[in-house]
């Protein structure tokens, strides 16, 4: 225990940054970013994404850390403090609910990474020598109901084991070692991808913006992706901030985390798109994209199975450090607000999340044609509902609540001292109060307008 009170604390500053970066860096960067960018036109999407990361992600990341450290509470408890017993507490509940929903499908993909570790070691992946076989292998895998549920179960179980052990022993220790290794394997992939014939078209897809491909939907996808990738809008960073000692500098930490997260996403793009184009594949491969590409690239390489094993092991661990932050939000709520023990909290919430994830696990096989959810499979529906709506809406209310209800003057002392002419503190305050929430609002109004128009044209067109 580092400072007074009984709340558990991060052991070291680096430990905190790595744990928070561990929450941010995950499937969102390596699995999701490439396929969402691929479906939304490539470079133009990437550009919009980066703009959102800077003007929405960074200020809201700082806001969440400030709220967390200031209140030393889970998201619901934090909003009880800053909203002073008003209805605004629902923002905290919305966050906890998002945690339930996100982890339910996140765990399914986490399970895929486990499955692919097994495939790489057992040699199934080594037999993959073309993109067609790679697709076939993934399809067969993702259609198998028992395997899907088993791997989803194993991933959830792993998150639960770590979260039961508490933050310092569990979360911090794991996050420390593995990030540099992930970096290394991405570089290997990039070199391999770029050396393939035809890879250049992939680079230009990723780097040369074609704004004619941008639609209201792709802007919302970029918005959602920036929140999802940075673990924002649901209180994960509030929860992590609540374990942060008063000595640490929030502004600096937040900048590191955002920078690292964005860097890894961009590297993942460089690793995937050249190979996608070199193999004459469409970048619109959907959620299976990296599970098609990676085995196909490594399948053609000498000792490729070693790299592919390493890749999926690292991806699994990156997913785990994010998954446990999601579970930690839910657990912190149950412990702080309901007074449960950590163990009981994790068992009960983990089981509920597992069950909620079952339809997502089956969404690529048995129930793949059940698209009752506004035209989406259950998996896609949960993903879009949380990333594109719940998280940005959560972020909007976090900013509004801090800026207008609680007042920035009550929390700004949480930020690093700084003596610049325009201080970073003031810049942050300006963004949280006047820019970030209103940009989110504006984007949603645009979207709703578009949706209403398209609904009417579908109904009467």
Is residue 167 near ligand PHE by the rule CB under 6 A? Answer: no
Q: Quick one: which of 229, 239, 331, 363 contacts ligand PHE (CB under 6 A)?
A: 229
The smaller minimum CB distance to ligand PHE, of residues 27 and 408, is found at 27
Partners of 373 in the beta sheet?
Answer: 376
CB of 243 to ligand PHE, least distance (A): 15
Taking contact as CB under 6 A, which single stretch among the options 231-239, 250-258, 410-418, 453-461 is the one that binds ligand PHE? Answer: 231-239
The smaller minimum CB distance to ligand PHE, of residues 26 and 75, is found at 26
The smaller minimum CB distance to ligand PHE, of residues 20 and 134, is found at 20
Q: Quick one: which of 225, 322, 331, 377 contacts ligand PHE (CB under 6 A)?
A: 322
CB of 37 to ligand PHE, least distance (A): 14
User: Which residue's entry shows tokens 């014939």?
Assistant: 197
Three-state secondary structure along 120-154?
Answer: HHHCCHHHCCCHHHHHHHHHHHHHCHHHHHHHHHH
Q: Crossing angle of helices 90-122/75-82, nearest 10°?
A: 160
Q: Quick one: which of 53, 234, 332, 390 contacts ligand PHE (CB under 6 A)?
A: 234
Long-range contacts of 162-166 (CB under 8 A, 24+ apart): 162/320, 162/324, 163/324, 163/327, 163/328, 163/331, 163/342, 163/346, 163/350, 164/342, 164/343, 164/346, 166/8, 166/342
The smaller minimum CB distance to ligand PHE, of residues 28 and 304, is found at 28
CB of 224 to ligand PHE, least distance (A): 10
The smaller minimum CB distance to ligand PHE, of residues 278 and 320, is found at 320
CB of 389 to ligand PHE, least distance (A): 13
**Pattern of binders to ligand PHE over 72-111, x per CB under 6 A?**
------------------------------x---------
Taking contact as CB under 6 A, which single stretch among the options 176-184, 293-301, 318-326, 440-448 is the one that binds ligand PHE? Answer: 318-326
CB of 318 to ligand PHE, least distance (A): 7
**What DSSP assignment string belongs to 162-230?**
HHHT-IIIIIIHHHHHHHHHHHHHHHHHHHHHHTSTTHHHHHHHHHS--GGG--HHHHHHHHHHHHHHT
Is residue 163 near ligand PHE by the rule CB under 6 A? Answer: no
User: In Å, how far are 61, 112, 218, 307 from 45, measured between CA atoms?
Assistant: 21, 26, 7, 30
Q: Crossing angle of helices 173-194/250-278, nearest 10°?
A: 30
C-alpha to C-alpha distance for 24 and 46, rounded to whole angstroms: 18
C-alpha to C-alpha distance for 123 and 119, rounded to whole angstroms: 6
Q: Which residue in 248, 227, 231, 241 sits closest to 77, CA to CA?
A: 241
Is residue 326 near ligand PHE by the rule CB under 6 A? Answer: yes
C-alpha to C-alpha distance for 221 and 344, rounded to whole angstroms: 36
Q: Quick one: which of 113, 262, 325, 363 contacts ligand PHE (CB under 6 A)?
A: 325
- Count H helices, E strands: the chain? 21, 0
> By CB under 6 A, how many residues form the interface with ligand PHE?
15
The smaller minimum CB distance to ligand PHE, of residues 48 and 109, is found at 109
Is residue 228 near ligand PHE by the rule CB under 6 A? Answer: yes
The smaller minimum CB distance to ligand PHE, of residues 104 and 325, is found at 325
User: Does residue 292 sit in helix, strand or coil?
Assistant: helix
**Pattern of binders to ligand PHE over 10-39, x per CB under 6 A?**
-------------xx-xxxx----------
The smaller minimum CB distance to ligand PHE, of residues 59 and 224, is found at 224
- Residue 419: both structure tokens together: 């003596």
Q: Which residue in 365, 267, 354, 260 sits closest to 311, CA to CA?
A: 267
The smaller minimum CB distance to ligand PHE, of residues 107 and 322, is found at 322
The smaller minimum CB distance to ligand PHE, of residues 113 and 436, is found at 113
Q: Which residue in 286, 287, 294 sits closest to 313, CA to CA?
A: 294
Taking contact as CB under 6 A, which single stretch among the options 129-137, 214-222, 321-329, 340-348 is the one that binds ligand PHE? Answer: 321-329
The smaller minimum CB distance to ligand PHE, of residues 231 and 262, is found at 231
CB of 25 to ligand PHE, least distance (A): 6
Taking contact as CB under 6 A, which single stretch among the options 49-57, 182-190, 303-311, 319-327 is the one that binds ligand PHE? Answer: 319-327
The smaller minimum CB distance to ligand PHE, of residues 304 and 357, is found at 357
φ/ψ of 19, rounded to 5, equals: -70, -45
Q: Could you tell me if 124 and 137 are in contact, meaning their C-beta atoms sit under 8 angstroms apart?
A: yes
CB of 250 to ligand PHE, least distance (A): 18
Q: Which residue in 186, 198, 224, 182 sits closest to 386, CA to CA?
A: 224
Cβ atoms < 10 Å from Cβ of 307: 19
User: In Å, how far are 141, 171, 372 from 378, measured between CA atoms?
Assistant: 18, 30, 8
User: Which residues of the chain form contacts with ligand PHE (CB under 6 A)?
Assistant: 23-24, 26-29, 102, 228-229, 231, 234, 236, 322, 325-326
């Amino acid at each position: 225990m580092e400072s007074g009170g009984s709340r558990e604390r991060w052991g070291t500053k680096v430990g905190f940054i790595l744990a928070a970066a561990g929450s941010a860096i995950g499937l969102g960067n390596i699995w999701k970013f490439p396929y969402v960018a691929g479906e939304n036109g490539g470079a133009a999407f990437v550009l919009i994404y980066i703009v959102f990361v800077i003007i929405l992600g960074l200020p809201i990341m700082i806001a969440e850390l400030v709220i967390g450290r200031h209140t030393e509470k889970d998201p619901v408890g934090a909003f009880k403090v800053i909203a002073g017993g008003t209805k605004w507490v629902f923002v905290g509940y919305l966050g906890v609910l998002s945690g339930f929903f996100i982890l339910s499908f996140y765990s399914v993909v986490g399970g895929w990474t486990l499955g692919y570790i097994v495939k790489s070691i057992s040699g199934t992946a080594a037999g993959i020598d073309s993109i067609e076989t790679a697709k076939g292998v993934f399809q067969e895998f993702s259609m198998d109901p028992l395997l899907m549920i088993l791997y989803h179960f194993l991933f959830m179980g792993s998150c639960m084991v770590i979260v039961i052990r508490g933050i310092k022993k569990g979360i911090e220790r794991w996050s420390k070692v593995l990030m540099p290794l992930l970096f290394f394997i991405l570089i290997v992939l990039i070199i391999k991808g770029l050396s393939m014939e035809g890879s250049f078209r992939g680079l230009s897809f990723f780097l040369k913006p074609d704004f004619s491909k941008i639609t209201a939907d792709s802007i919302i996808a970029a918005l959602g992706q920036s929140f999802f990738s940075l673990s924002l809008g649901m209180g994960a960073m509030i929860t992590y901030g609540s374990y942060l000692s008063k000595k640490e500098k929030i502004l600096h930490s937040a900048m590191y985390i955002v920078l690292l997260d964005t860097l890894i996403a961009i590297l993942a793009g460089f690793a995937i798109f050249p190979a996608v184009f070199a193999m004459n594949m469409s970048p619109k491969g959907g959620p299976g994209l990296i599970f098609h590409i990676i085995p196909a690239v490594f399948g053609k390489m000498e000792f490729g199975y070693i790299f592919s094993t390493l890749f999926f092991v690292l991806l699994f661990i990156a997913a785990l450090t994010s998954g446990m932050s999601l579970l930690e939000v839910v657990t912190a709520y149950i412990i702080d607000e309901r007074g449960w023990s950590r163990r009981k909290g994790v068992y009960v919430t983990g089981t509920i999340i597992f069950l909620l994830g079952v339809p997502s696990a089956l969404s690529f096989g048995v129930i793949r044609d059940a698209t009752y959810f506004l035209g989406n499979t259950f998996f896609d529906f949960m993903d879009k509902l949380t990333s594109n709506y719940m998280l940005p809406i959560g972020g909007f209310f976090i900013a509004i609540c801090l800026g207008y209800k609680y007042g920035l003057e009550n929390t700004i002392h949480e930020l690093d001292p700084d003596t610049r002419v325009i201080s970073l503190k003031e810049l942050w305050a300006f963004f949280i109060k006047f820019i970030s929430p209103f940009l989110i609002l504006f984007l949603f109004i645009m979207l709703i307008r578009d949706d209403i128009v398209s609904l009417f044209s579908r109904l009467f067109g």
